[in-house]
Amino acid sequence: MNLPNKITISRIVLIVVTIISMFVLSCIDFQAPNIGDTNINLVYLIYCLVFIIAALTDFLDGYLARKLNQITSFGKFLDPIADKLLNDSMMIFILVPQLYAPNQRSDKTMLTILMVCVILMIARDLVVDGVRLIAVQKGKVIAANIFGKCKTVLQMVAIPMLLLNDWPFSYFDSSWPEFLQISNIFFYLATLMSIISGIIYLVQNKSVFKDN
């Protein structure tokens, strides 16, 4: 197994450990405090740092694969799955702030909007992964396209901003309606790009559904 694939697998291991820790925290009576006078929750900050580290390994394995000429079918298949595990698990975490930080995102309307966005993005990922599995059964490996990569980048920008409660933009947009805050706008853009990239993905790979 080459180095880029090892990095991808290490990212998946990190994600699994993070998900387990989230589950453990949800099973105990634990409420994390905010840091100093900021509105940044301690648990959110920790998971934000974990998310950033995992996201950096995503760019690192892709860079090394190209630089070392070690692009493999296994890497093409596994890397998007690792990205989805990372982003989807963190998006679900954002929807259940009451488990760790009851004062975070208490507005029910905003939580509903975020929930709809997350459902749309996860549904898109399930459809795309289904197409990829069908393609694998037919001996074809479908790599992520540029639109899917743009979607992933937007998610990787929006998620840390949401985890940090719109910091640092909260210094000037705190008086705005919550649904218009910068972090939420990035999340809307990620949702829109997710839908667009999913449609393009299906159109580009419609031959997968045809019988040989």
What are 87-111's pLDDT values in tens digits? 888 888 777 655 544 445 556 777 7
Question: Residues 23-75: pLDDT tens digits?
Answer: 777 676 666 677 766 677 788 888 889 889 988 888 898 888 888 888 887 88
Q: Looking at domain 3-209, which of 3.10.129.10, 1.20.120.1760, 3.40.50.300, 3.40.50.2300 is its CATH number? A: 1.20.120.1760
**pLDDT at residue 189 in the model:** 93
**pLDDT at residue 159 in the model:** 87
Q: Which of 82, 107, 79, 104 is nearest to 93 (CA)?
A: 104
* Average per-residue pLDDT for the chain: 81
Question: Residues 110-143: pLDDT tens digits?
Answer: 778 888 898 999 999 889 888 888 887 777 777 7
Task: Sort 1 into a burial class: Cβ within 10 Å, 0-12 / 13-18 / 19+.
Answer: exposed
Question: Residues 158-189: pLDDT tens digits?
Answer: 888 888 877 777 667 667 777 778 888 999 99
**pLDDT at residue 211 in the model:** 66
**pLDDT at residue 137 in the model:** 79
Q: Is the pTM of this model over 0.95?
A: no
Question: Residues 62-84: pLDDT tens digits?
Answer: 888 888 888 887 887 788 888 88
Place of tokens 């950033």: 52
* Banded model confidence at residue 156, pLDDT cuts 50, 70, 90: confident
pLDDT at 154 over 70: yes
* Banded model confidence at residue 212, pLDDT cuts 50, 70, 90: low
**pLDDT at residue 124 in the model:** 92
Token pair of 148 as six digits: 């899917």
Q: What is the DSSP string of 141-156?
A: -PPP-HHHHHHHHHHH
Q: Residue 188: helix, strand or coil by DSSP?
A: helix
Q: What is the DSSP string of 44-106?
A: HHHHHHHHHHHHHHHHHHHHHHHHTT---HHHHHHHHHHHHHHHHHHHHHHH-GGGT-TTSS-
Pairwise CA distance, residues 98 & 201, whole Å: 36
Q: Residue 174: helix, strand or coil by DSSP?
A: coil
Q: What residue spans define the domains of the chain?
A: 3-209
Q: Please count the CA atoms within 13 angstroms of the CA of 199 that sit on its side-chain side.
A: 6
**pLDDT at residue 195 in the model:** 93
